[in-house]
Amino acid sequence: MCGIVGYIGKETNPQIGLEALKRLEYRGYDSAGMAVFNFEKKQIYCLKCVGRISNLEDKLSNSAIFGTPFIMHTRWATTGRVNEVNAHPHSDCKGNIWVVHNGIIENYQELKEELIKEGHRFVSETDTEVLSHLIEKYFKGNLEEAVRKALKEVKGTYALVIISREDPYKIVAASLSSPLLIGINGKEYLIASDPAAIVSYTKKIINLEDNEIATITPEKFFIFKEKVPQEIELEVEDIQKEGYSHFMLKEIMEQPRSLKHSQQGRILLEEGLAKLGGLEDVKDKLKEIKRLIIVACGTAYHAGLVGEYMLEEYAGIPVEVDFGSEFRYRKPILDENTALLAISQSGETADTIAALREAKRKGILTLGIVNVVGSTVSRETDAGVYNHAGPEIGVASTKAFTSQLEVLALLTLFLGRQREMSLVMGQRIAKEILKIPELVEKVLQTRSEVKKIAEKYKDAKNFLFIGRKYNYPIALEGALKLKEISYIHAEGYGAGEMKHGPLALIDKNFPTIAILTSDSVYKKTLSNAEEIKTREGPIIAIATEGNDEIKNITEDVIYIPKTLEMLTPILSVIPLQLFSYYMGVLKGYDVDKPRNLAKSVTVE
Ligand code: M6R
């Protein structure tokens, strides 16, 4: 949530910072701002706007602002409404010290009251503004000294980038539970909250760790600990649209590739095994595990629900799935034979991290399935598996979700083979996982049919999504995607629950998307669909190739190829992703940046 960029070096045109900031716009896009130090005038100039970064760009091109260092921010509002005053950067009373911030200052009310009593004047409703005043309070000519003292009083999370007119040729950066990195290109430094911002500028980065404060000047940077730069595994093409009109469509269409990457080098077909390097160190402990708790949020939670069916059916491990936001407030009963698995694309979701930390406090083994390399979840878990799905920029999670499902299938194979799963069953699962990228390619060929169905139903005000067993979580995911992207009310239900209430909603204007794949629960789901048909509800089916009888009760059918039942969700979700994408586009919405949302939810 929110994006930060800072620059110090020979370049004086802030436009290069804006190019980097635009790559972070998916993390927040309510408002944006920048502060630039002009060495001739010895002044810091600030520009802010409501809305997208392009508005800030317009303001910059109409001004004569230049200089270095500069700091920038794109905001997803948490504390304080969306307006220019609340946009970052925030300054102290005299406009000497300027701060951009990601995270939350939990004790800002107390600090603000104190500072007001001491004579500080606040202009915004934000928590961030207390930081600039607190730093002002301690400033005696050395910025990092003042930052260090100020942060001792702060409770919460932060990634901070700060400049000062009275200690001008430096940037001070600090981080606690919110990512921040320094990109190094000779004597130029680009500081950002996400590697996507700097990958076209340099691949040499230093990640700031918790409680570290860095001072960066054109000559050098200084952190408390001496650290060796790492190489980031990111290519510029990964964060470009490659000819697609939206990142969401690009990410849906690249799933054959992302799924190939997620399984690459991880399947031993002959032995019917999954080779998961990140679990090697804990493999003996995993043999002893008698119970697994999965924690996640949103789409990753739906992946966890599919994982529950896989792991219970094939690995014989009892699984419980909980929202990060609920687990953190429960009093879970945990013992030494329980492990916790956190699933997160970003690895930065605050509720998932809080649940993980709670489990660590209780001393149980913690695991992660994470896409972003080096993220908080990946650093704080005992062991885990990376998705290797590549960066996901669209706010709606698509390729990360299918990759999570694939990794869960690999984990099932890994844990299953440690237990009762036979060699033959292991080989069968391994063989089917290997085929997945090719089958996904085939499902993507339904793209134009799905688009026509979206055109037909674009005026519908409500949708139901139903499925059973492995496809129950897919019904939830289909509904979430549609809400998120097209702002249409949608409900996901276990098909068997229809007659316990939701059936009352059904009439000829209330369409249902039914996942009716040929599997162990097909007949049951079919009879639930028939009950809808009897009440004149239009049905759009996702069915298995070769099933012609389904046409008798449905308005429209999208066919997907046959696979092992536990892998069906990877295929059945794809038409639903495409459907929500086209519905959003037909309605004229910005599908990559849906209103009120942000890519990674780093606040509770
Ligand atoms: O980064 P995470 O996987 O932890 O994110 C969890 C959710 O915020 C995320 O999946 C969200 O629900 C998506 N926007 C859904 O498309």
Give tens-digit pLDDT for 568-579: 999 999 999 999
Q: Does ligand 1 lie within 6 Å of residue 251's CB atom?
A: no
Q: Are 406 and 263 in contact (CB under 8 A)?
A: yes
Out of 173-177, 225-229, 343-347, 506-510, least confident range? 225-229
Q: Is the pLDDT of residue 476 over 90?
A: yes
- Residue 595: partners with Cβ closer than 8 Å, 6 or more residues away: 487, 589
Render 305-331 in DSSP notation, one character per residue: HHHHHHIIIII---EEEEEHHHHTTS-
CA 253–ligand 1 middle distance (angstroms): 19
Residue 226 has pLDDT above 50, yes or no: no
Contact 572, 469 (CB under 8 A): no
At 228, the pLDDT band (50, 70, 90 cuts) reads low
Q: Which atom of ligand 1 is nearest to the CA of 377?
A: 4
Report residue 12's pLDDT band, with 50, 70 and 90 as the boundaries.
Answer: very high
Confidence tier at 227 by pLDDT (50, 70, 90) = low
Atom of ligand 1 nearest to the CA of 396: 16
Band of residue 242 on the pLDDT scale cut at 50, 70, 90: confident
- Beta strands 156-164 and 171-176, pairing class: antiparallel
Indicate whether residue 299 lines ligand 1 (CB < 6 A): yes
To the question of pTM greater than 0.85 for the whole model, the response is no
User: In ligand 1, which atom is closest to the CA atom of 345?
Assistant: 3
The residue whose two tokens read 């005053």 is 85
pLDDT of residue 232: 72
**Pocket of ligand 1 contains residue 393 by CB under 6 Å:** no
Q: Is 392 in the pocket of ligand 1 (CB under 6 A)?
A: no
Ranking 295-299, 330-334, 517-521 by mean pLDDT, the lowest is 330-334
d(CA 561, CA 352): 34
Q: Identify the band that residue 359 occupies on the pLDDT scale cut at 50, 70 and 90.
A: very high
Active site residue 297: no
Q: What percent of the chain has pLDDT over 90?
A: 86
Minimum CA distance residue for ligand 1 atom 8: 298
pLDDT band at 493 (very low <50, low <70, confident <90, very high): very high
* Contact yes or no for 540/482 (Cβ under 8 A): no
CA of 397 to the centre of ligand 1 (A): 6
Contact criterion met (CB below 8 Å) for 453 and 580: no
The number of helices, as runs of H, and strands, as runs of E, in the chain is: 18, 26
344 lines ligand 1 (CB under 6 A): yes
> Contact at 8 Å (CB) between 516 and 474?
no
Q: Pick the catalytic residue: 2, 46, 49, 297?
A: 2
Q: How far is the CA of 572 from the centre of ligand 1 (A)?
A: 19
Compute the distance from residue 398 Cα to the ligand 1 centre, in Å.
10
Domains in the chain (CATH in brackets) are 3-238 (3.60.20.10), 241-443 (3.40.50.10490), 445-590 (3.40.50.10490)
Centroid of ligand 1 to alpha carbon of 297 (angstroms): 6
What's the residue count for the chain? 604
Ligand 1, from 294, 600, 603, 604: best to mutate by most atoms within 8 Å of Cβ? 600
Atom of ligand 1 nearest to the CA of 404: 3
Query: If DSSP codes are grouped into helix, strand and coil, which group holds residue 192?
Result: strand
Residue 3 has pLDDT above 90, yes or no: yes
- Give the E-state strand segments of 76-200 in sequence order: 90-91, 97-105, 156-164, 171-176, 181-185, 188-192
Angle, vertex CA 240, rays to CA 235 and CA 245, nearest 5: 155
Q: Report the separation in Å between the CA atom of 198 and the middle of ligand 1, taken as the mean of its atom positions.
A: 23
